[in-house]
Structure 1
């Protein structure tokens, strides 16, 4: 009896030890899992949602690539980046943002294709604790945590003031705007119109929304030249539009007139080539590195740092005096002069 009791006691102790081991082992597994999750958050590993609002011109593509370049520089803070593409369509952009909300991102970076239509879905994102950063375009509603852009009103105004000065306050001009309905285009034209309205002898004889696109602008300007025997100047929001305008004038054997533009490398090369023939221009710049700045802002928000709600940066200008500093004959026409990417990244981006 004593022997059996001793063996029974030993067996009982073994069973208790096994059960205790299983229990503590399970607890340690849960602790590792929970602590692993907590450690990730403590390290600032975040899930980023980036909406490629439009990939129809080289400026918007380079801004997206600037963002990707900044992602590489912040890998230690980023768990994942989820990309969606909205193709310039408001309904698709709303659906894409809904998708990013469903996927549980920590922040959404988007360029609104409408200054009003995105408000409800952005408000929904904020209601779920998701930070919202607007990139390069405004919203009429306060459904965002920070806006990163330049003053597009000043952009339009600067080009208009230069053109008026070139024409001594009188002449017939044509205007080329961007994509209709986007705040960028609207703000730029608003700034320019304020200037032109002060000069009654400046007449806008034709205008078009050429979507910042070279081919569309070339066609539009060709039609304007056919309808208007006198055109003294071109106010263009830039992109590839001014380059298209130049080629339309040349194809029609019309004398080149003063034209405003932007810091596209293809245009800067053409300007450099033609200025010895008397062609005059100004390139007002909205830098593509705004994509980089938007990610920096997003990470600062997620880390609880103080971030300005409206980061409206000043526009810069390329003139006759500093053109040589910005034009890059060694890089593709599709490159934009104000970049934070390395030359290698630029060549990889625009090699195709």
Structure 2
């Protein structure tokens, strides 16, 4: 498909109109392009989507890897909310759930293709497994929006994400500086083979490698599960004990479980930890006076994926990779030379809300136990 490079002024103008930036306006007053885009040394690649322009209402297919954790439930809610908000443009939103089974998701996408969807949204179980079927849809002329997780090739229209590389680099740099450039770290990433985890691990390891006195004691996958995060951390405590100086997570889901394991092990002076999205991680850090870094991976990207998809069907140019703006939250007194806070974790954590609350869905007063919205289906 045809690509072209446009200037950042146009990119910022496009971005300002979409939901991803509205959430930052609500929090900070900022309405511009994502800061990751402003920091980039290269121009954004924009996709010419005029070939997809058609009259609505549209049939949209969303192939979801799963709703196996509270983050993914929040992302689904964000898409459903966006479909509700744009119901006048949508004939039907078809949602499938692969239950983290790549083979089932391939079948789901094939079914959506056969049903003649005008737009295909995919959050891939794994990049490799979904590449061929997504490529097939793209080459058949169906615009493809990837969200959260991408495929291995570039055969898609746009990828809605938050920068995994920024998370990996910034969280690792914060931890290194909190430790004074010397110490032992355990890494608790999410799921093997999933692009989010792969990229965040690579970026963090790139930072750690620059400091010869920083040692990664161990790395264990947690499947982005609070329960498994607790189990893995408990085993690491058994093995390494007080050798552990820092706990690096690629998300807050397992981070909350890791904190619970430390507390139950009787630790009182908890080491620095990294979090994202989950109220439990930042809430427990505050309650236990633990140094914490939080950089969300907003499930609000689900709603952005649908709205950018509608832009594609209107023939508007869109970025090939759309990175949402994210604020950095750090516990008070724990900023470092290189990493500063946009807000304090103490102000961001919802101490009055349950641990499994996802903080960045973009839905006001979101509660996963009561959320329900009507949309065309």
Q: TM-score range by the shorter chain?
A: 0.7 to 0.9
Using the size of structure 2 for normalisation, the TM-score is 0.78
Counterpart-to-counterpart distance in 2, 1:329 and 1:258? 20
Structure with bigger gyration radius: 1
Q: 1:257 aligns with which of 271, 295, 306?
A: 271
- Higher mean C-alpha deviation, range 116-125 or range 299-308: 116-125
**Residues 1:337 and 2:370 aligned together:** no
- Higher mean C-alpha deviation, range 70-79 or range 113-122: 113-122
1:102-150 CA distances to partner (integer Å, 9 max, x unpaired)? 1111111111222223222112212332111000122221111111101
Q: Is the 8 A contact 1:66 1:288 kept in 2?
A: yes
Report the secondary structure of 1:199's partner residue. Answer: coil
Q: Is the 8 A contact 1:263 1:318 kept in 2?
A: no
Distance 1:108 1:337, change over 3 A: same
Which structure shows the bigger proportion of residues in helix conformation?
1
Alignment of 1:136-215 (within 5 A): 136-215=148-227
Report the secondary structure of 1:118's partner residue. Answer: helix
- Higher mean C-alpha deviation, range 220-229 or range 317-326: 317-326
User: Unpaired runs of 5+ in structure 1?
Assistant: 1-40
Flag the structure with more relative contact order, 1 or 2, with Cα contacts below 8 A and sequence separation at least 6: 2
Alignment of 1:98-113 (within 5 A): 98-113=110-125
Q: 2:130 aligns with which of 114, 118, 130?
A: 118
Using the size of structure 1 for normalisation, the TM-score is 0.83
User: Unpaired runs of 5+ in structure 2?
Assistant: 1-52, 333-343, 373-377
Report the secondary structure of 1:240's partner residue. Answer: helix
Q: Is the 8 A contact 1:113 1:181 kept in 2?
A: no
Q: Is the 8 A contact 1:115 1:139 kept in 2?
A: yes
Give the match for residue 296 of structure 1. 307
Distance 1:334 1:109, change over 3 A: same
Q: Is the 8 A contact 1:212 1:240 kept in 2?
A: yes
Shift in Å, 1:347: 5.5
Give the match for residue 245 of structure 1. 258
Counterpart-to-counterpart distance in 1, 2:364 and 2:131? 36
Matched pairs, number: 307
**Residues 1:280 and 2:291 aligned together:** yes
Alignment root-mean-square deviation, CA: 1.8
